[in-house]
Amino acid sequence: MVEYKKDEILSTLLKAVSDSTRRALLTQLCQQGPTRVTDLANVYDMSLNAISKHIKVLEKTGLVKRKTTGRTHWIEADLKQVAMVDEWFSELKSIWTLRLDKLDELMKTGDE
């Protein structure tokens, strides 16, 4: 059950960052820090409604947080969830490393 939940979260994260606009938003937020929603909409020449939809997808995955001060909404990157993606890629890398090591071993024994 825990593995299924982890896989579901990973899928949601990867879907969220599959969109180039959301990746650009996340990159900008990492580079510039907390940014007003209206400023993000201006940078991407998008309506406030369109940018809000992208932000909501990122919020749902936990990749960004929203803080409201009065009527101003500030969006900030929160990359804790990225560790899960990094862990998955590390697992893939270790599998390939084992396979390449085995191939190297087979090639060396074939030379003898």
CATH number at residue 11: 1.10.10.10
| Residue 109 counted as domain residue | no
| Residue 69 counted as domain residue | yes
Q: Which two tokens stand for residue 31?
A: 């580079």
Report whether pLDDT(4) > 70. no
| Residue 47 counted as domain residue | yes
Predicted model pTM: 0.72
Give backbone dihedrals phi and psi of 33, rounded to 5 degrees, phi first: 80, -165
Indicate the pLDDT class of residue 24, thresholds 50, 70 and 90: very high
Domain region containing 46 = 2-79
| Residue 111 counted as domain residue | no
Nearest to 11 by CA among 85, 105, 107: 85
Taking only the tens place, the pLDDT of each residue in 51-79 is 999 999 999 999 999 999 999 999 999 98
User: Considering its fold, how many domains does the chain have in total?
Assistant: 1
